Every structure is written in structure tokens, then in C-alpha cells.
Structure 1
Amino acid sequence: MISNFSVIPIAFFSAVFLQGTFASAQEAADAHRPPNILLILIDDLGYADVGCFGNRSNQTPHIDRLAAEGLRFTDFHSNGPMCSATRAALLTGRYQNRFGRAFEGALDADRDHDIGLPLEELTIAEALKPAGYVSGLFGKWHLGYQAPFLPTRQGFDEFRGLLTGDGDHHSHLSRSGDPDWWVGETLALEPGYSVDLITRDSIDFIERHRDQPFFLLVSHLAIHFPWQGPNEPAHRQQGHDYSDLSKLGPHPPGAVRPVVREMVEAIDRSVGQLITTLQRLNLDRSTLVIFTSDNGGYRHYGNRFHGEISDNGPLRGQKGQLFEGGHRVPAIAWWPGRVAPGVTPETAMTMDLLPTFLDLAHLEPIAAPALDGISLAPLLLRREPLPDRPFFWRNGSVAAARLGPWKLLIDDGRPLLFHLAADPSESHNLSATNPNRVAHLSSMLDTWQDEMDRPRPLPANPSPAGP
């Protein structure tokens, strides 16, 4: 009896050999070409709002698959507990506190209308241009409300989305009842749910720029209030003011939880569509995908909606606070063939992304002291541990410092000391029994705050690295 193996044509083996040889050559070429970078930034997503970080209610199969196939961070932090703060640090690789106190919270449309991310700062989009990148931002900006503080003046070749901190997910009206959906620098309202529009425009950008390196920032407005599901009618109407609690949306306490679940699951579908697009265009093995949140989630809003909004897991606190629930966020790095699947306890921050992208794009690093972040590339590609370093946060009168597992939080002069490895929920204040550690971290925090309030050298645009 002749086996099935014996009758397979020799041409088949030749084809398989050539295919394998081509794949090996392609992988070798991909290892030396600048990768595409797809950065998916979710608004107000809590640490445990998705399945792979412990949520048992929200159905997030696409994000969970991203985590299973990529590197999941369990100790990743936003630079601030509010929207504008983290976005400023993300784009510049620097502590946002250097740009003034306004950048420690959320830029206000009235109070901060005439300021924005300083134009002299170097953004990711500008820094990647020497390597031939085209850059697009679709979704939320929140780093300036008018020219010249717009994405198109900060290196982005394309922008579609909103300038303010929140908008109706359907009518795209701001908190003040004004239209807020832009194409470039032109106001251009269009119908559609924010998640769907941002996803559509992001996919179109990928398809149009498949043949050149691209940096794509998918900056979702969801799950930020107003809490609205994909199939609901618009809440805000033009000319009406929504600066009171009506800004939160049409749902009363007791009815928000299922709406937030719909928003999380809409984000998950968006992630699935983006990954499917990369795979369809054979870009998945040449694209680094980063998925994360701009800050922790709301557990409640004032004295309302307790337990109805986000899930921060075991972490204490929420958005706006410097307890872990305000800034420890879900984060995943996905790059088939380059980033091995796994979980890392290494501590990192949003400001580390710019130096990471420069490293992977084969651009000369920006010399210290211009950047505060460090490259995560050795961790992503080779699982090399990150160097020991302190981390700092400040929002108004509250500030925090972390070194290793120890975190000191100063709230109006009161020291709170936590050992995060043993107490991630920050339940036990150890300051009374560790005065020397409190003094050491306090000194570091004071030095950092003094530095943040002084001018700092600006980074120069990097150049391609030598051979």
C-alpha cells in the first residue's frame, strides 16, 4: 500500500521550501524596517474593565485575545489621573507637569481656552518624521481648543475627531452645546456613534498608508461620559448648556451599568476590526499595537452611580485621584513574531512610549535630560528587565512618589506610605513605622517638584541612527 505521503508531488515540497525561505527572509527584513505603530488609547477605562484584567461581566474577546497573544502589563501607569495630563506626557515623553499646573488635570474649555500643548514640544508624530512616518490621529485631542494648539500643528498629517474633553457620542456636541467634530482644522459634523466613526476613519487610514510606515493614534472618547450606548438617540442639543450633571448623559442612577457595558463592548469590537484589518493587509507582523487607557476609571461620580461605572479591581481610588485606581491602567503590547506572549510585572508609564517608538524606528534617542521616559523595547523584544527608577505624580495639592514597591502619597501634607507588592489596595498606611523611608521618598518628591517647576531643555528632532 502506497502511503499518502509518497504521492505528494515534489513540486509541493519546493513550494513549501520557497515559502518558508521567503517567510524567513521577510521576517529578517521586518526586523530591520521601522514598524507601523498603532496606539489604541481608551478614555477612562478602569484597570479591571476588560476580561483579561479580571472583569467577569463585560464581554471583551478581542482585547482578551490581544492580551493572550501579546505582552500584558500588570503594573503600567498613566502619567496622570486625568485626560489632558496623560495625553501631554504620552505625546512628548516628558512629565506633563513641566508644561504648567493646568496640565496636571483636564484642560477646561473656558479657563484654559487660550492655551494648549506648547508648540515647541516635540511630539511622537514630529519625532517619527525623519524615519518616513505618516501620522494620523482619530478621536479625542483635549490638548488645545483652537489654533495654533491643534493636532495638525503638532506633526499629525491627518486628524478627525473632537478637540474638547467630552462630547455627545452621537450628536458630537460639546459640554457647552457647540459642534465639536473636526476634519483637520475644519468643523465637520457627521452622524454616527463616536466609536464607529473613529474605527472607520482609522481603518481607512491604514488602508491608504499600508505601503509606508505609519503612526496611528486611535484616541477613543468612550467610555467617558456622557454614558451612551451605540444604539441610543443623541442626548445633547445645540445651543443648550450641559455644564451641570446633565453632562453625564440621559440615564439616572441605577441605569448606567448596562450602558457602560455596551460602551466597553463597542471598544472591544473596534479592536477586533482594527486587528482584522492589519491581518487582511498582511501588516500584522510589521505593526506594533499598544492598547491602554488615559487614566483609571470612575467608580462613582460625586455621590451618584456607586458601583455602576468602572471596575478598578482591587485598586483603591478612581479617576482624578493619585491612589492606584486613578493611574494604574490596563496595557497590552502586541506584535506577532516580535513580542512574545506573556505577562510582565515591570513598572512603566505612558511617557515611556515615545522613546520606545523612536528606538523601534531606528532613530537616535533623544539625549537626556530632555526626555523623562525610557525605551521599553528591550523589555518588549527580549524580556530584559527595566532599570530601577523612581516615578512621580502630582495633581493640585496631592503628590506621590514611587520607588520599587514603596509608594508615598502626600495629601495636603499628610503622608501615606504603602508597600504595593503586599498591599496593592493601599489599605495599610505604614508611614508611622517607616519614618526613614517616608523621609527618603519625601526628599525625592520635593526635588522632583522643584525640577518640574523650572524650565527644562527642549528635545531636538532625532535623526536616523547610523548603520
Structure 2
Amino acid sequence: MMPAFALLVVFLLVPLLGIEAAETKPNFVLIVADDLGYGDLGCYGGDSPQTPHIDRLARGGLRFTDFHSAGAMCSPTRASLMTGRYPQRFGPIFDAALSGTTQRDRGLPLEATTIAELLREAGYVTGCFGKWHLGYQPPLLPTNQGFDIFRGLVSGDGDFHTQIDRSGNEDWWHNNRVEMDEGYTTDLLTKYSVDFIAAHHEEPFFLYLPHLAIHFPWQGPEDPPHRTAGRSWHQDKWGVIPDRGNVRPHVEAMIESLDASVGAIVETLNQWELTQETVVIFTSDNGGYLTYGKDFRNISSNGEWRGQKAQLYEGGHRVPMIVSWPGRIAPGVTDELVHSNDLLPTMLSLIDEPAVSSDGIDLASLWIEREPLPKRDLFWRSGSQLAVRSGSWKLVASRKEGAKPELYNLDDDPGEQRNVATQYPTIVKKLSDAWSQWDADVDLSSMEYSR
């Protein structure tokens, strides 16, 4: 039997241990690039531009080769990152990007549970600096979805110098009101983020930094301003591009600015001695554009993957993903199949918070112990397009009448060049049936938010 004195010591220490555990909860920094392709970074095989800060983050962290965004466009992935749910659970409007003209009163339902709400309940201070694109006006803005502070834009894109959206509106917000600021968008978001870390370095924080770069308008820091308020820019939304056949120089300047931002965030963590107390996650919301319209060419790079943004081939949704937590996550590379939905349950697991309903899985054992993940299927829907991934098999299809399914074995054909659907009809049917079951399930779930 334990002596009475020893029991007293244990009872006295328990509250202290609880306090210590709370104080050592890691900070989270989630940096999301916009339209950044798999091949746009040096650490993913790109040779131009130079991305030394992101590459250094990858060398010191865990780099994913088979990470997938929940959508091939902006809003779906953002809904997934915030909720850990397939975006279609919130309605078919999340098959694609929220429109700034026809859906200004729509957005992520307030009833949805976000990672910001869950972390704030766990004692975190929460900040969102960047592109929201999950609602265009109050109350569908970040401060009603768990964030203590929001600075940035609510639309799908804005001029990087004037912060005017494509409908001609001033689109630079401070919490629930428009409050314009002067500067280049990437630099402003970096400054807000650095200030947020400095202000909250003594308490656990969640910094969500969804950059606008490299989304159009394609404007590097030295490119001229383009949009002015009070007129529509829908037919002239791309910026000042003298050579439309070679957009790449403008995009490279944007990538370099994005890379510098990552460097500034990491350096700020170093300055406040927070590096080993902070999980830094870097990813993209979807693949990059290779071409746009009739004449824009040489824009982004998706490496070896077929397709581009808005398509459900690999190039539309296989994106960079890096996680860094020095001292806890060993450097390396993993080819495990991972999805946007997985970040929310993983972050909760890392701070020992109870699991919530999610379509993702906990990656903590993979990150820290390199344990393999359970097998599962992943699904995508974008209007009439559909895709499902099961192991090495990938089905890409369309619900349009007369469309024929495409089946690829990514182990043998990572570039999705050889359609083997006619050779494996049983696999096509199996994947088609799995997608149909998933589709019915998410549509049923969405009814909860359409009442």
C-alpha cells in the first residue's frame, strides 16, 4: 500500500501535471497556397523558380508525395480543411468555387464544426489571415466560425496591389467589416501573421494562413496594379500580361514571394523560440493551371501528373504537403495516401482532444512513428465530373450521357495515359458502385444544412 505521504504528493502533483500538459500543447500553423502545382516547388522536382525556404521546411520535415486536396478548385478544399468533412456534405455548391455573383448569400453553414472552433474550445487563440472564400458577407465570415481575428479577402481573388475583387468591390476585411490596407497581398498577410505570433507567443495558437498566391490576377510584387473599384473585371481578371503565351515569369515572382513568406513565418517562430513547440503544415488548395482559355499558356506546373485545376485527373488534386515539427516529426518522405480531411482529426489527436465526426483519419502515428495508414477509398465530385481512388486504381468518369469511364493503375501509369477500363470491367463496376454509395451518403448529409 502506498504511504499516506506519497499519496498526498501524488494528489498535489496531478493538478500541476495537468497545467504543464496544457502549457505544452503545440501551436499549429497551417499555410495554404492557392493554385500552387505539385511541380512548382524545388522539393517536388521543380527547377524554377528557387524556393529555398519551402525546400528547407521539406528537408527538415515530412514531405508527402500522395497528398490530395478535397477539390480541384478553391472552396471545396477550404471547407474540408476547416471541417474534416467532404465538402459535398454541405451541399452541391461545394462541388466548385463559391460564386461572387450568384452565391454571395451562401457559404459554409454556421452549424458546421470547424477546427478553429474546436481549438478555441481547447484553449487556443485563433487567427485567419488570407483568402476565406467560404462566405462573402457576415455572418458567414471567419470570426463566426471560430477565429478570434480575421484580416484578408473573402472572395475568390483580388488585385494583389489594390485588393479589388473581380466584381469591382473593395475586398479587404478586418473581422466583419471592410478595412482597406496598403501593400502587396502576400506581404500584408505575412505581416499580420508575424504580428499574431508575436502577440500570442506565450499561449497556444492556431494560425491559419490561406495565401491568395498564386491565383490570378497573375501579379508579382513588381507587376503593376490592375483593378479599380466600381466596375466589373470578370472579362479582364488576369492582370497585366504582355505575353499571354508565357505567364510563367509573373507566376514565378508570386511563388518567390510566397516562399519568402514561409521563410518569414519560420524565422519568427525561431525568434520566439517556438520552433519545437509548433507544427507547421504547408499545402495547396488544388493543382495549378497549365493553360487558361484560348491564349494563356505556361502558367503553373503539376509535375508528372496529368491535368490541371478544375479537372479530376491527378494534376487537379495531387498537391504539395509538408509537415514540420522539429524534435517530434523526423525528416523524411512518405508515399502514404493522404487527404485534406485528415488534418482536423490529426490536430485534435496531437493535443489529446476527443475525436469528432470526420471523413478523415488520424495521421499522428504516421507523422511521428511512421506507422502505415489503413486502406481506404477517396472520392471527388465536381459538377458532372467524378473520381474515386482505391489503392493504385483511379476511376475518372462523367455523369454526362454517353461519357465512357476511364480507369488507370497509378502504379504502372502515374500520368494517367492508358485507359484500361475495357480490360477491367469488374474493377470499373466496383469503383463506380463505391462512388455512387458515397454520393448518396453525402447528399443525404447535405440535407441537414439545406433546411
Please give the range of the TM-score, normalised by the shorter of the 2 chains.
over 0.9
Deviations 1:126-153 (A, max 9, x none): 0112320111000100000111101010
Deviations 1:43-78 (A, max 9, x none): 000011010001111110000001111000000000
How many residue pairs match? The answer is 426
Q: Could you tell me which residue of structure 2 aligns to residue 97 of structure 1?
A: 88
Distance in 2 of aligned mates of 1:294 and 1:304: 24
Distance in 2 of aligned mates of 1:130 and 1:452: 27
Q: 3-state DSSP class of the match of 1:454?
A: helix
Q: 3-state DSSP class of the match of 1:147?
A: coil
Q: 3-state DSSP class of the match of 1:248?
A: coil
* Counterpart AA for 1:391: L
* Counterpart AA for 2:377: P
Q: 3-state DSSP class of the match of 1:444?
A: helix
After TM superposition, the structure 1 = structure 2 runs for residues 60-79 of structure 1, keeping only pairs within 5 Å, are 60-79=51-70
Distance in 2 of aligned mates of 1:146 and 1:231: 31
Q: Could you tell me which residue of structure 2 aligns to residue 220 of structure 1?
A: 211
Quote how far apart the aligned CAs of 1:30 are.
7.9
Which of these residues, 377, 385, 406, is aligned with residue 416 of structure 1? 406
Counterpart check, 1:445 vs 2:445: no
Which of these residues, 232, 240, 256, is aligned with residue 250 of structure 1? 240
Distance in 2 of aligned mates of 1:144 and 1:153: 11
Q: Could you tell me which residue of structure 2 aligns to residue 391 of structure 1?
A: 378
- Residues 351 and 209 from structure 1, CA distance in 2 versus in 1: closer, same or farther, beyond 3 angstroms? same
Q: Could you tell me which residue of structure 2 aligns to residue 357 of structure 1?
A: 347
Q: Could you tell me which residue of structure 1 aligns to residue 28 of structure 2?
A: 37
* Alpha-carbon contact 1:34-1:362 (below 8 Å) kept: no
Q: Could you tell me which residue of structure 2 aligns to residue 314 of structure 1?
A: 304
Deviations 1:385-425 (A, max 9, x none): 11101100000011111111101111234210001111111
Distance in 1 of aligned mates of 2:179 and 2:74: 23
Distance in 1 of aligned mates of 2:127 and 2:261: 17
* Alpha-carbon contact 1:34-1:131 (below 8 Å) kept: no
After TM superposition, the structure 1 = structure 2 runs for residues 134-153 of structure 1, keeping only pairs within 5 Å, are 134-153=125-144
Distance in 1 of aligned mates of 2:31 and 2:184: 17
Q: Could you tell me which residue of structure 1 aligns to residue 255 of structure 2?
A: 264
* Alpha-carbon contact 1:128-1:361 (below 8 Å) kept: no
Counterpart check, 1:285 vs 2:276: yes
Q: 3-state DSSP class of the match of 1:392?
A: strand
Q: 3-state DSSP class of the match of 1:173?
A: coil
Distance in 1 of aligned mates of 2:87 and 2:404: 24
Quote how far apart the aligned CAs of 1:239 are.
1.3
Distance in 2 of aligned mates of 1:309 and 1:406: 29
Q: 3-state DSSP class of the match of 2:168?
A: coil
Q: 3-state DSSP class of the match of 1:221?
A: coil
Q: Could you tell me which residue of structure 2 aligns to residue 56 of structure 1?
A: 47
Which of these residues, 377, 381, 386, is aligned with residue 364 of structure 2? 377
Distance in 1 of aligned mates of 2:126 and 2:86: 22
Q: 3-state DSSP class of the match of 1:414?
A: coil
* Alpha-carbon contact 2:77-2:286 (below 8 Å) kept: yes
Quote how far apart the aligned CAs of 1:256 are.
1.9
Distance in 1 of aligned mates of 2:174 and 2:150: 6
Structure 1 length normalisation: TM-score? 0.89
Distance in 1 of aligned mates of 2:136 and 2:62: 35
* Alpha-carbon contact 1:30-1:286 (below 8 Å) kept: no
- Residues 255 and 440 from structure 1, CA distance in 2 versus in 1: closer, same or farther, beyond 3 angstroms? closer
Quote how far apart the aligned CAs of 1:32 are.
8.5
Distance in 1 of aligned mates of 2:321 and 2:208: 15
Counterpart check, 1:338 vs 2:328: yes
Counterpart check, 1:432 vs 2:419: no
* Alpha-carbon contact 1:142-1:163 (below 8 Å) kept: yes
* Alpha-carbon contact 1:137-1:216 (below 8 Å) kept: yes
Distance in 2 of aligned mates of 1:236 and 1:76: 35
Deviations 1:20-54 (A, max 9, x none): xxxxxxxxx78983210000000000011010001
Q: 3-state DSSP class of the match of 1:407?
A: strand
Q: Could you tell me which residue of structure 2 aligns to residue 238 of structure 1?
A: 229
* Counterpart AA for 1:431: A
Q: Could you tell me which residue of structure 1 aligns to residue 198 of structure 2?
A: 207
Distance in 1 of aligned mates of 2:222 and 2:392: 44
Which of these residues, 341, 345, 348, is aligned with residue 338 of structure 2? 348
Higher alpha-carbon deviation: 253-262 or 177-186: 253-262
Structure 2 length normalisation: TM-score? 0.92
* Alpha-carbon contact 1:33-1:361 (below 8 Å) kept: no
After TM superposition, the structure 1 = structure 2 runs for residues 109-148 of structure 1, keeping only pairs within 5 Å, are 109-148=100-139
* Counterpart AA for 1:188: E
- Residues 32 and 71 from structure 1, CA distance in 2 versus in 1: closer, same or farther, beyond 3 angstroms? farther
Structure 1: 5+ residue stretches without partners: 1-28, 459-467
Distance in 2 of aligned mates of 1:39 and 1:176: 29
Quote how far apart the aligned CAs of 1:361 are.
1.6
Q: Could you tell me which residue of structure 1 aligns to residue 4 of structure 2?
A: none
CA RMSD of superposed structures (Å):
1.5
* Alpha-carbon contact 2:73-2:286 (below 8 Å) kept: yes
Distance in 2 of aligned mates of 1:361 and 1:414: 46
- Residues 31 and 60 from structure 1, CA distance in 2 versus in 1: closer, same or farther, beyond 3 angstroms? farther
Q: Could you tell me which residue of structure 2 aligns to residue 16 of structure 1?
A: none
Distance in 2 of aligned mates of 1:152 and 1:304: 40
**What is the aligned-residue identity percentage?**
54
